[in-house]
Chain A
Protein backbone atom coordinates (compact mmCIF):
# COMPACT_ATOMS: atom_id res chain seq x y z
CA UNK A 1 0.00 0.00 0.00
CA UNK A 2 1.55 3.29 -1.12
CA UNK A 3 0.79 6.37 0.96
CA UNK A 4 0.87 10.04 -0.02
CA UNK A 5 2.13 10.92 3.46
CA UNK A 6 3.92 8.73 6.02
CA UNK A 7 2.16 7.32 9.04
CA UNK A 8 5.36 7.43 11.11
CA UNK A 9 7.89 10.23 11.31
CA UNK A 10 11.18 9.67 13.10
CA UNK A 11 12.63 12.87 14.45
CA UNK A 12 16.04 12.81 16.06
CA UNK A 13 16.23 16.05 18.02
CA UNK A 14 19.60 17.84 17.89
CA UNK A 15 21.53 18.32 21.12
CA UNK A 16 21.89 22.09 20.89
CA UNK A 17 18.70 23.14 19.23
CA UNK A 18 17.30 26.43 18.02
CA UNK A 19 13.93 26.42 19.77
CA UNK A 20 12.16 28.41 17.08
CA UNK A 21 13.42 26.01 14.41
CA UNK A 22 12.21 23.03 16.45
CA UNK A 23 8.81 24.67 16.74
CA UNK A 24 8.70 25.23 12.99
CA UNK A 25 9.65 21.62 12.33
CA UNK A 26 7.01 20.45 14.79
CA UNK A 27 4.40 22.55 12.96
CA UNK A 28 5.66 21.09 9.68
CA UNK A 29 5.23 17.59 11.06
CA UNK A 30 1.70 18.33 12.23
CA UNK A 31 0.91 19.58 8.76
CA UNK A 32 1.84 16.15 7.36
CA UNK A 33 -0.68 14.43 9.65
CA UNK A 34 1.35 11.38 10.64
CA UNK A 35 -0.27 8.89 12.99
CA UNK A 36 2.91 8.49 15.00
CA UNK A 37 5.89 10.65 15.82
CA UNK A 38 8.97 8.93 17.16
CA UNK A 39 11.07 11.58 18.90
CA UNK A 40 14.56 10.57 19.97
CA UNK A 41 16.79 12.69 22.13
CA UNK A 42 20.30 11.82 23.23
CA UNK A 43 20.44 14.66 25.75
CA UNK A 44 21.29 13.42 29.27
CA UNK A 45 18.26 15.27 30.63
CA UNK A 46 14.81 16.28 29.45
CA UNK A 47 15.35 19.76 28.05
CA UNK A 48 12.98 22.70 27.78
CA UNK A 49 13.25 22.36 24.00
CA UNK A 50 11.81 18.88 24.11
CA UNK A 51 9.08 19.92 26.50
CA UNK A 52 8.18 22.79 24.17
CA UNK A 53 7.95 20.37 21.26
CA UNK A 54 5.85 17.92 23.27
CA UNK A 55 3.50 20.75 24.17
CA UNK A 56 2.88 21.36 20.47
CA UNK A 57 1.65 17.81 20.02
CA UNK A 58 -0.27 17.55 23.28
CA UNK A 59 -3.75 18.09 21.85
CA UNK A 60 -3.02 16.77 18.38
CA UNK A 61 -4.15 13.39 17.07
CA UNK A 62 -0.48 12.38 16.61
CA UNK A 63 0.72 9.65 18.96
CA UNK A 64 4.10 10.67 20.31
CA UNK A 65 6.67 8.10 21.37
CA UNK A 66 9.63 9.63 23.15
CA UNK A 67 13.00 7.90 23.43
CA UNK A 68 15.47 9.37 25.91
CA UNK A 69 18.59 8.02 27.59
CA UNK A 70 17.97 5.98 30.72
CA UNK A 71 20.00 8.54 32.69
CA UNK A 72 17.54 11.27 31.75
CA UNK A 73 14.64 9.48 33.38
CA UNK A 74 14.80 10.99 36.85
CA UNK A 75 12.03 12.19 39.15
CA UNK A 76 11.88 15.58 37.47
CA UNK A 77 11.58 13.94 34.06
CA UNK A 78 8.82 11.65 35.28
CA UNK A 79 6.93 14.64 36.68
CA UNK A 80 7.25 16.59 33.45
CA UNK A 81 6.14 13.69 31.30
CA UNK A 82 3.04 13.03 33.36
CA UNK A 83 0.19 14.63 31.53
CA UNK A 84 2.44 15.64 28.63
CA UNK A 85 0.37 13.63 26.19
CA UNK A 86 3.29 11.35 25.32
CA UNK A 87 1.87 7.96 24.48
CA UNK A 88 4.97 5.95 25.26
CA UNK A 89 8.35 6.62 26.84
CA UNK A 90 11.28 4.46 25.82
CA UNK A 91 14.53 4.52 27.75
CA UNK A 92 17.61 3.94 25.63
CA UNK A 93 20.18 1.55 27.06
CA UNK A 94 23.25 0.05 25.47
CA UNK A 95 23.61 -2.96 27.71
CA UNK A 96 21.47 -5.46 29.55
CA UNK A 97 21.19 -4.67 33.25
CA UNK A 98 23.73 -6.77 35.08
CA UNK A 99 23.62 -4.78 38.27
CA UNK A 100 20.84 -6.87 39.77
CA UNK A 101 18.31 -4.10 39.74
CA UNK A 102 20.10 -0.81 40.22
CA UNK A 103 19.81 1.83 37.60
CA UNK A 104 16.79 0.55 35.75
CA UNK A 105 13.32 1.74 36.73
CA UNK A 106 11.06 -0.96 38.10
CA UNK A 107 8.02 -0.06 36.09
CA UNK A 108 5.77 -1.34 33.42
CA UNK A 109 5.02 2.26 32.45
CA UNK A 110 8.10 2.69 30.33
CA UNK A 111 9.76 0.59 27.70
CA UNK A 112 13.36 -0.05 26.75
CA UNK A 113 15.01 0.94 23.50
CA UNK A 114 18.12 -1.09 22.77
CA UNK A 115 20.13 -0.10 19.70
CA UNK A 116 21.73 -3.38 18.68
CA UNK A 117 25.35 -3.15 17.62
CA UNK A 118 28.23 -5.57 17.19
CA UNK A 119 29.34 -4.97 20.78
CA UNK A 120 26.06 -5.89 22.45
CA UNK A 121 23.97 -8.26 20.33
CA UNK A 122 25.02 -11.27 22.42
CA UNK A 123 23.39 -9.52 25.40
CA UNK A 124 19.93 -9.78 23.85
CA UNK A 125 18.86 -12.88 25.85
CA UNK A 126 20.05 -11.15 29.06
CA UNK A 127 18.26 -7.99 28.01
CA UNK A 128 14.99 -9.85 27.67
CA UNK A 129 15.43 -11.15 31.22
CA UNK A 130 16.44 -7.70 32.49
CA UNK A 131 13.23 -6.22 31.11
CA UNK A 132 10.98 -8.88 32.55
CA UNK A 133 12.81 -8.81 35.91
CA UNK A 134 12.03 -5.09 36.14
CA UNK A 135 8.39 -5.50 35.16
CA UNK A 136 9.07 -3.90 31.79
CA UNK A 137 7.06 -5.49 29.02
CA UNK A 138 7.96 -3.24 26.10
CA UNK A 139 11.19 -3.62 24.17
CA UNK A 140 12.15 -1.85 20.96
CA UNK A 141 15.19 -2.67 18.86
CA UNK A 142 15.34 0.61 16.92
CA UNK A 143 16.57 1.15 13.43
CA UNK A 144 20.24 1.99 13.24
CA UNK A 145 20.93 5.61 12.37
CA UNK A 146 23.06 5.69 9.25
CA UNK A 147 22.79 9.37 8.34
CA UNK A 148 26.52 10.02 8.46
CA UNK A 149 27.82 6.93 6.72
CA UNK A 150 28.26 4.96 9.93
CA UNK A 151 29.19 1.31 9.35
CA UNK A 152 25.97 -0.65 9.30
CA UNK A 153 25.44 -3.33 11.90
CA UNK A 154 24.24 -6.72 10.79
CA UNK A 155 24.40 -10.29 11.94
CA UNK A 156 25.72 -12.90 9.55
CA UNK A 157 23.56 -15.95 8.92
CA UNK A 158 25.72 -17.93 11.35
CA UNK A 159 25.35 -15.25 14.02
CA UNK A 160 21.60 -15.12 13.46
CA UNK A 161 21.47 -18.86 14.19
CA UNK A 162 23.64 -18.38 17.28
CA UNK A 163 21.29 -15.68 18.57
CA UNK A 164 18.18 -17.72 17.81
CA UNK A 165 19.63 -20.65 19.75
CA UNK A 166 20.67 -18.45 22.70
CA UNK A 167 17.19 -16.90 22.83
CA UNK A 168 15.55 -20.32 22.68
CA UNK A 169 17.76 -21.61 25.52
CA UNK A 170 16.90 -18.51 27.56
CA UNK A 171 13.19 -19.14 27.10
CA UNK A 172 12.54 -16.72 24.25
CA UNK A 173 10.91 -13.34 24.67
CA UNK A 174 7.50 -14.47 25.93
CA UNK A 175 5.80 -11.69 27.86
CA UNK A 176 7.48 -8.89 25.95
CA UNK A 177 5.81 -6.58 23.45
CA UNK A 178 8.66 -6.41 20.96
CA UNK A 179 9.26 -4.11 18.03
CA UNK A 180 12.00 -5.28 15.70
CA UNK A 181 12.67 -3.42 12.48
CA UNK A 182 15.46 -5.64 11.15
CA UNK A 183 13.97 -8.62 9.28
CA UNK A 184 16.96 -10.80 10.17
CA UNK A 185 16.91 -9.96 13.88
CA UNK A 186 13.19 -10.64 13.68
CA UNK A 187 13.96 -14.12 12.38
CA UNK A 188 16.21 -14.84 15.37
CA UNK A 189 13.41 -13.85 17.77
CA UNK A 190 10.61 -15.43 15.75
CA UNK A 191 11.94 -18.49 13.94
CA UNK A 192 9.58 -19.60 11.22
CA UNK A 193 7.32 -16.55 11.54
CA UNK A 194 7.32 -14.32 8.44
CA UNK A 195 8.42 -10.72 8.95
CA UNK A 196 5.17 -8.74 9.13
CA UNK A 197 6.12 -5.74 7.01
CA UNK A 198 5.56 -6.05 3.29
CA UNK A 199 9.06 -5.10 2.24
CA UNK A 200 11.01 -1.91 2.81
CA UNK A 201 8.73 0.91 3.96
CA UNK A 202 11.27 3.71 3.56
CA UNK A 203 9.71 6.85 2.07
CA UNK A 204 6.29 5.23 2.24
CA UNK A 205 4.92 4.59 5.71
CA UNK A 206 7.92 6.33 7.25
CA UNK A 207 10.17 9.34 6.87
CA UNK A 208 13.05 10.42 9.11
CA UNK A 209 14.46 13.77 10.18
CA UNK A 210 18.08 13.71 11.30
CA UNK A 211 19.50 16.01 13.99
CA UNK A 212 20.79 18.43 11.33
CA UNK A 213 17.35 18.71 9.74
CA UNK A 214 18.05 16.30 6.90
CA UNK A 215 15.02 14.43 5.66
CA UNK A 216 15.59 10.78 4.84
CA UNK A 217 13.35 7.95 3.66
CA UNK A 218 14.28 5.98 6.77
CA UNK A 219 16.83 6.43 9.59
CA UNK A 220 18.88 3.63 8.00
CA UNK A 221 18.81 4.81 4.39
CA UNK A 222 21.19 7.77 3.91
CA UNK A 223 19.67 9.25 0.77
CA UNK A 224 18.99 12.85 1.70
CA UNK A 225 15.69 14.07 0.28
CA UNK A 226 15.87 17.62 1.57
CA UNK A 227 16.32 19.77 4.64
CA UNK A 228 13.58 21.04 6.93
CA UNK A 229 13.89 24.77 7.31
CA UNK A 230 14.90 25.13 3.66
CA UNK A 231 11.73 23.46 2.43
CA UNK A 232 8.60 22.35 4.18
CA UNK A 233 8.42 18.70 5.12
CA UNK A 234 5.23 18.42 3.11
CA UNK A 235 7.02 19.67 -0.01
CA UNK A 236 9.86 17.22 0.51
CA UNK A 237 7.42 14.33 0.97
CA UNK A 238 5.56 15.33 -2.19
CA UNK A 239 8.76 15.89 -4.19
CA UNK A 240 9.58 14.09 -7.41
CA UNK A 241 12.89 12.86 -5.97
CA UNK A 242 11.13 11.20 -3.06
CA UNK A 243 8.64 9.55 -5.39
CA UNK A 244 11.41 8.38 -7.66
CA UNK A 245 13.29 6.87 -4.74
CA UNK A 246 10.13 5.12 -3.60
CA UNK A 247 9.62 3.74 -7.10
CA UNK A 248 13.12 2.25 -6.99
CA UNK A 249 12.53 0.75 -3.54
CA UNK A 250 9.40 -1.00 -4.77
CA UNK A 251 11.56 -3.07 -7.10
CA UNK A 252 13.57 -5.84 -5.49
CA UNK A 253 17.38 -5.40 -5.56
CA UNK A 254 18.88 -6.76 -8.74
CA UNK A 255 21.32 -8.88 -6.74
CA UNK A 256 18.41 -10.74 -5.10
CA UNK A 257 16.37 -11.74 -8.14
CA UNK A 258 17.65 -15.31 -8.22
CA UNK A 259 17.48 -15.84 -4.46
CA UNK A 260 14.92 -18.30 -3.13
CA UNK A 261 14.53 -16.33 0.09
CA UNK A 262 13.47 -13.14 -1.65
CA UNK A 263 9.79 -13.95 -1.19
CA UNK A 264 10.32 -13.85 2.58
CA UNK A 265 12.98 -11.18 3.14
CA UNK A 266 11.92 -8.97 0.17
CA UNK A 267 15.41 -7.62 -0.14
CA UNK A 268 16.01 -7.15 3.60
CA UNK A 269 17.19 -3.75 4.81
CA UNK A 270 17.63 -1.58 1.73
CA UNK A 271 19.42 1.10 3.74
CA UNK A 272 22.07 -1.23 5.05
CA UNK A 273 22.54 -2.62 1.55
CA UNK A 274 22.79 0.91 0.16
CA UNK A 275 25.55 1.83 2.59
CA UNK A 276 27.49 -1.31 1.74
CA UNK A 277 27.11 -1.10 -2.05
CA UNK A 278 26.32 2.59 -2.64
CA UNK A 279 23.47 1.28 -4.74
CA UNK A 280 19.91 0.08 -4.21
CA UNK A 281 20.67 -2.94 -6.37
CA UNK A 282 22.90 -4.75 -3.86
CA UNK A 283 21.90 -7.41 -1.35
CA UNK A 284 21.54 -6.83 2.38
CA UNK A 285 24.82 -7.96 3.98
CA UNK A 286 22.80 -9.82 6.60
CA UNK A 287 22.36 -12.45 3.87
CA UNK A 288 26.06 -13.21 3.92
Chain B
Protein backbone atom coordinates (compact mmCIF):
# COMPACT_ATOMS: atom_id res chain seq x y z
CA UNK B 1 0.00 0.00 0.00
CA UNK B 2 2.69 2.36 1.06
CA UNK B 3 4.75 1.42 -1.94
CA UNK B 4 1.94 1.71 -4.41
CA UNK B 5 0.67 5.17 -3.61
CA UNK B 6 3.53 7.22 -5.15
CA UNK B 7 3.06 5.11 -8.26
CA UNK B 8 -0.61 5.95 -8.29
CA UNK B 9 0.22 9.63 -7.91
CA UNK B 10 2.63 9.37 -10.81
CA UNK B 11 0.12 7.54 -12.93
CA UNK B 12 -2.57 10.10 -12.21
CA UNK B 13 -0.39 13.11 -12.94
CA UNK B 14 0.97 11.66 -16.18
CA UNK B 15 -2.56 10.55 -17.01
CA UNK B 16 -3.79 14.11 -16.51
CA UNK B 17 -1.57 15.28 -19.34
CA UNK B 18 -2.73 12.42 -21.53
CA UNK B 19 -6.27 13.41 -20.69
CA UNK B 20 -5.47 17.00 -21.67
CA UNK B 21 -4.42 15.75 -25.10
CA UNK B 22 -7.66 13.84 -25.55
CA UNK B 23 -9.57 16.87 -24.26
CA UNK B 24 -8.04 19.05 -26.97
CA UNK B 25 -9.39 16.74 -29.67
CA UNK B 26 -12.84 16.78 -28.11
CA UNK B 27 -12.65 20.56 -27.65
CA UNK B 28 -11.87 21.03 -31.34
CA UNK B 29 -14.98 19.08 -32.28
CA UNK B 30 -17.16 20.91 -29.76
CA UNK B 31 -15.83 24.35 -30.64
CA UNK B 32 -16.30 23.79 -34.38
CA UNK B 33 -19.86 22.60 -33.83
CA UNK B 34 -20.68 25.49 -31.54
CA UNK B 35 -19.23 28.08 -33.92
CA UNK B 36 -21.07 26.67 -36.93
CA UNK B 37 -24.41 26.19 -35.24
CA UNK B 38 -26.18 28.96 -37.19
CA UNK B 39 -25.26 27.33 -40.46
CA UNK B 40 -26.05 23.80 -39.27
CA UNK B 41 -29.55 24.77 -38.19
CA UNK B 42 -30.16 27.05 -41.19
CA UNK B 43 -29.16 24.64 -43.97
CA UNK B 44 -29.23 21.18 -42.42
CA UNK B 45 -28.38 18.49 -44.94
CA UNK B 46 -28.80 20.86 -47.87
CA UNK B 47 -25.40 22.24 -46.89
CA UNK B 48 -23.84 19.05 -48.24
CA UNK B 49 -25.89 18.98 -51.41
CA UNK B 50 -26.11 22.57 -52.53
CA UNK B 51 -23.49 24.06 -54.81
CA UNK B 52 -24.69 27.60 -54.21
CA UNK B 53 -21.99 29.69 -52.47
CA UNK B 54 -23.44 33.13 -52.53
CA UNK B 55 -22.50 35.51 -49.71
CA UNK B 56 -24.76 38.20 -51.25
CA UNK B 57 -27.99 36.30 -50.76
CA UNK B 58 -26.72 34.32 -47.74
CA UNK B 59 -26.95 30.94 -49.51
CA UNK B 60 -24.20 28.53 -48.59
CA UNK B 61 -23.61 25.02 -49.87
CA UNK B 62 -20.40 23.06 -49.47
CA UNK B 63 -20.71 20.71 -52.42
CA UNK B 64 -18.15 22.42 -54.72
CA UNK B 65 -15.59 22.45 -51.93
CA UNK B 66 -16.21 18.84 -50.95
CA UNK B 67 -16.03 17.94 -54.62
CA UNK B 68 -12.81 19.86 -55.17
CA UNK B 69 -11.22 18.36 -52.07
CA UNK B 70 -12.13 14.80 -52.98
CA UNK B 71 -11.25 15.27 -56.65
CA UNK B 72 -7.83 16.77 -55.97
CA UNK B 73 -7.05 14.21 -53.27
CA UNK B 74 -8.10 11.24 -55.40
CA UNK B 75 -6.21 12.52 -58.41
CA UNK B 76 -3.16 13.06 -56.23
CA UNK B 77 -3.53 9.57 -54.81
CA UNK B 78 -3.72 8.08 -58.28
CA UNK B 79 -0.42 9.69 -59.19
CA UNK B 80 1.27 9.29 -55.83
CA UNK B 81 0.41 5.72 -54.84
CA UNK B 82 2.39 3.80 -57.48
CA UNK B 83 5.37 6.08 -56.97
CA UNK B 84 5.18 5.86 -53.17
CA UNK B 85 4.85 2.09 -53.15
CA UNK B 86 7.66 1.80 -55.67
CA UNK B 87 9.90 3.83 -53.39
CA UNK B 88 8.91 1.84 -50.31
CA UNK B 89 9.61 -1.45 -52.09
CA UNK B 90 12.86 -0.18 -53.52
CA UNK B 91 14.15 1.02 -50.18
CA UNK B 92 13.06 -1.93 -48.07
CA UNK B 93 13.45 -4.82 -50.53
CA UNK B 94 15.78 -3.91 -53.36
CA UNK B 95 18.18 -1.14 -52.47
CA UNK B 96 21.81 -1.89 -51.68
CA UNK B 97 22.32 -1.04 -48.04
CA UNK B 98 24.70 1.88 -48.66
CA UNK B 99 21.97 3.63 -50.65
CA UNK B 100 19.22 3.06 -48.12
CA UNK B 101 20.06 5.81 -45.61
CA UNK B 102 20.52 8.58 -48.20
CA UNK B 103 17.27 7.61 -49.89
CA UNK B 104 15.36 7.62 -46.63
CA UNK B 105 16.87 10.98 -45.82
CA UNK B 106 15.90 12.47 -49.19
CA UNK B 107 12.31 11.26 -49.05
CA UNK B 108 12.06 12.57 -45.50
CA UNK B 109 13.33 15.90 -46.76
CA UNK B 110 10.58 15.89 -49.36
CA UNK B 111 8.10 15.49 -46.53
CA UNK B 112 9.73 18.20 -44.45
CA UNK B 113 9.66 20.98 -47.05
CA UNK B 114 7.03 23.48 -45.87
CA UNK B 115 3.76 23.63 -47.73
CA UNK B 116 4.27 27.32 -48.45
CA UNK B 117 7.51 26.53 -50.30
CA UNK B 118 5.66 24.01 -52.45
CA UNK B 119 3.09 26.70 -53.14
CA UNK B 120 5.72 29.24 -54.10
CA UNK B 121 7.36 26.75 -56.43
CA UNK B 122 3.92 25.83 -57.72
CA UNK B 123 3.04 29.41 -58.69
CA UNK B 124 6.28 30.24 -60.42
CA UNK B 125 7.47 26.93 -61.86
CA UNK B 126 4.75 24.29 -61.95
CA UNK B 127 1.83 26.44 -63.11
CA UNK B 128 3.64 27.87 -66.17
CA UNK B 129 4.79 24.34 -67.05
CA UNK B 130 1.25 22.97 -66.75
CA UNK B 131 0.00 25.88 -68.85
CA UNK B 132 2.42 25.02 -71.67
CA UNK B 133 1.27 21.43 -71.41
CA UNK B 134 -2.33 22.54 -71.73
CA UNK B 135 -1.52 24.72 -74.75
CA UNK B 136 -0.19 21.73 -76.66
CA UNK B 137 -3.06 19.48 -75.65
CA UNK B 138 -4.61 18.42 -78.96
CA UNK B 139 -8.02 19.84 -79.79
CA UNK B 140 -9.78 16.44 -79.84
CA UNK B 141 -8.69 15.82 -76.23
CA UNK B 142 -9.89 19.22 -75.19
CA UNK B 143 -13.36 18.31 -76.40
CA UNK B 144 -13.47 15.75 -73.57
CA UNK B 145 -14.99 16.92 -70.27
CA UNK B 146 -11.78 15.84 -68.54
CA UNK B 147 -9.69 18.41 -70.43
CA UNK B 148 -12.18 21.18 -71.24
CA UNK B 149 -11.57 24.83 -70.50
CA UNK B 150 -8.97 27.42 -71.39
CA UNK B 151 -5.29 26.75 -70.67
CA UNK B 152 -4.81 28.60 -67.39
CA UNK B 153 -2.10 26.54 -65.79
CA UNK B 154 -3.88 27.31 -62.56
CA UNK B 155 -6.46 24.69 -61.71
CA UNK B 156 -7.13 21.11 -60.69
CA UNK B 157 -4.19 19.54 -62.53
CA UNK B 158 -1.60 21.76 -60.86
CA UNK B 159 -3.21 21.16 -57.49
CA UNK B 160 -3.27 17.39 -57.97
CA UNK B 161 0.35 17.31 -59.10
CA UNK B 162 1.61 19.35 -56.18
CA UNK B 163 -0.48 17.31 -53.75
CA UNK B 164 0.95 14.13 -55.25
CA UNK B 165 4.50 15.33 -54.66
CA UNK B 166 3.59 16.15 -51.08
CA UNK B 167 1.84 12.86 -50.39
CA UNK B 168 4.50 10.54 -51.85
CA UNK B 169 6.99 10.74 -48.98
CA UNK B 170 4.21 10.34 -46.46
CA UNK B 171 2.69 7.21 -47.96
CA UNK B 172 6.06 5.69 -48.76
CA UNK B 173 7.31 6.17 -45.19
CA UNK B 174 4.30 4.38 -43.72
CA UNK B 175 4.42 1.66 -46.37
CA UNK B 176 8.10 1.15 -45.61
CA UNK B 177 7.31 0.71 -41.91
CA UNK B 178 4.60 -1.77 -42.82
CA UNK B 179 6.95 -3.78 -45.05
CA UNK B 180 9.45 -3.91 -42.21
CA UNK B 181 6.92 -5.76 -40.07
CA UNK B 182 6.60 -8.56 -42.64
CA UNK B 183 8.49 -11.53 -41.22
CA UNK B 184 11.56 -12.55 -43.19
CA UNK B 185 10.25 -16.10 -43.39
CA UNK B 186 7.80 -14.81 -46.02
CA UNK B 187 10.63 -13.72 -48.29
CA UNK B 188 12.81 -16.74 -47.56
CA UNK B 189 9.91 -19.07 -48.19
CA UNK B 190 9.19 -17.48 -51.56
CA UNK B 191 12.81 -17.60 -52.68
CA UNK B 192 13.13 -21.18 -51.48
CA UNK B 193 10.28 -22.07 -53.80
CA UNK B 194 12.27 -20.57 -56.69
CA UNK B 195 10.36 -17.28 -56.93
CA UNK B 196 11.80 -14.35 -58.86
CA UNK B 197 12.27 -11.07 -57.03
CA UNK B 198 8.97 -9.80 -58.36
CA UNK B 199 7.15 -12.90 -57.18
CA UNK B 200 8.72 -12.74 -53.74
CA UNK B 201 7.81 -9.07 -53.37
CA UNK B 202 4.32 -9.84 -54.58
CA UNK B 203 4.03 -12.37 -51.76
CA UNK B 204 5.32 -9.81 -49.25
CA UNK B 205 2.89 -7.19 -50.54
CA UNK B 206 0.04 -9.67 -50.31
CA UNK B 207 1.00 -10.43 -46.75
CA UNK B 208 1.14 -6.71 -45.95
CA UNK B 209 -1.94 -5.70 -47.95
CA UNK B 210 -4.01 -4.36 -45.05
CA UNK B 211 -1.19 -2.18 -43.82
CA UNK B 212 -0.46 -0.98 -47.35
CA UNK B 213 -4.08 0.07 -47.81
CA UNK B 214 -3.80 1.84 -44.46
CA UNK B 215 -0.69 3.67 -45.66
CA UNK B 216 -2.47 4.79 -48.82
CA UNK B 217 -5.42 6.03 -46.79
CA UNK B 218 -3.14 7.96 -44.46
CA UNK B 219 -1.72 9.70 -47.51
CA UNK B 220 -5.27 10.43 -48.59
CA UNK B 221 -6.04 11.95 -45.20
CA UNK B 222 -2.99 14.16 -45.53
CA UNK B 223 -4.05 15.32 -49.00
CA UNK B 224 -7.55 16.20 -47.81
CA UNK B 225 -6.34 18.76 -45.32
CA UNK B 226 -3.48 20.33 -47.26
CA UNK B 227 -4.09 24.05 -47.51
CA UNK B 228 -1.46 26.52 -48.59
CA UNK B 229 0.12 24.85 -51.60
CA UNK B 230 -3.31 24.00 -52.98
CA UNK B 231 -4.88 27.40 -52.48
CA UNK B 232 -1.97 29.00 -54.29
CA UNK B 233 -2.45 26.96 -57.48
CA UNK B 234 -6.03 25.67 -57.69
CA UNK B 235 -7.71 28.92 -58.79
CA UNK B 236 -10.16 29.27 -55.90
CA UNK B 237 -13.34 29.02 -57.91
CA UNK B 238 -16.18 27.01 -56.38
CA UNK B 239 -17.59 24.85 -59.16
CA UNK B 240 -18.33 21.20 -59.64
CA UNK B 241 -16.40 20.38 -62.79
CA UNK B 242 -14.90 17.18 -64.10
CA UNK B 243 -12.15 19.02 -65.92
CA UNK B 244 -8.55 18.80 -64.80
CA UNK B 245 -7.98 22.15 -66.48
CA UNK B 246 -10.64 24.11 -64.66
CA UNK B 247 -10.02 26.24 -61.61
CA UNK B 248 -11.74 24.76 -58.59
CA UNK B 249 -11.70 25.12 -54.84
CA UNK B 250 -11.18 22.95 -51.77
CA UNK B 251 -12.52 22.98 -48.24
CA UNK B 252 -9.21 23.91 -46.68
CA UNK B 253 -8.56 26.59 -49.31
CA UNK B 254 -11.91 28.33 -48.89
CA UNK B 255 -11.32 28.62 -45.16
CA UNK B 256 -7.86 30.10 -45.70
CA UNK B 257 -9.22 32.53 -48.28
CA UNK B 258 -12.42 33.71 -46.72
CA UNK B 259 -12.16 33.11 -42.99
CA UNK B 260 -10.99 36.53 -41.87
CA UNK B 261 -13.28 38.13 -44.41
CA UNK B 262 -16.65 36.65 -43.76
CA UNK B 263 -18.59 39.81 -42.98
CA UNK B 264 -21.74 38.38 -41.42
CA UNK B 265 -22.33 35.63 -38.88
CA UNK B 266 -24.05 33.12 -41.15
CA UNK B 267 -21.17 33.34 -43.62
CA UNK B 268 -18.63 32.75 -40.86
CA UNK B 269 -20.62 29.85 -39.46
CA UNK B 270 -20.88 28.29 -42.91
CA UNK B 271 -17.09 28.47 -43.24
CA UNK B 272 -16.58 26.90 -39.83
CA UNK B 273 -19.05 24.17 -40.76
CA UNK B 274 -16.79 23.40 -43.70
CA UNK B 275 -13.98 23.12 -41.16
CA UNK B 276 -16.17 20.76 -39.14
CA UNK B 277 -16.90 18.62 -42.19
CA UNK B 278 -13.19 18.50 -42.97
CA UNK B 279 -12.47 17.56 -39.35
CA UNK B 280 -14.99 14.73 -39.43
CA UNK B 281 -13.81 13.40 -42.81
CA UNK B 282 -10.16 13.36 -41.79
CA UNK B 283 -11.11 11.79 -38.48
CA UNK B 284 -12.91 8.93 -40.21
CA UNK B 285 -10.17 8.42 -42.81
CA UNK B 286 -7.47 8.42 -40.13
CA UNK B 287 -9.39 6.09 -37.87
CA UNK B 288 -9.93 3.62 -40.69
CA UNK B 289 -6.32 3.67 -41.81
CA UNK B 290 -5.00 3.30 -38.26
CA UNK B 291 -7.34 0.40 -37.76
CA UNK B 292 -5.99 -1.28 -40.88
CA UNK B 293 -2.38 -0.70 -39.88
CA UNK B 294 -2.99 -1.93 -36.34
CA UNK B 295 -4.77 -5.02 -37.56
CA UNK B 296 -1.77 -5.69 -39.74
CA UNK B 297 0.71 -5.14 -36.91
CA UNK B 298 -1.20 -7.45 -34.62
CA UNK B 299 -3.11 -4.97 -32.51
CA UNK B 300 -1.69 -2.05 -30.59
CA UNK B 301 1.85 -2.63 -31.85
CA UNK B 302 3.73 0.57 -32.33
CA UNK B 303 6.27 -0.58 -34.88
CA UNK B 304 4.04 0.11 -37.85
CA UNK B 305 2.63 3.37 -36.61
CA UNK B 306 3.33 6.13 -39.02
CA UNK B 307 6.42 8.17 -38.57
CA UNK B 308 6.14 10.90 -41.16
**A pairs with B:** no
Task: Using CB atoms and an 8 Å cutoff, list the residues of chain B in contact with chain A.
Answer: none
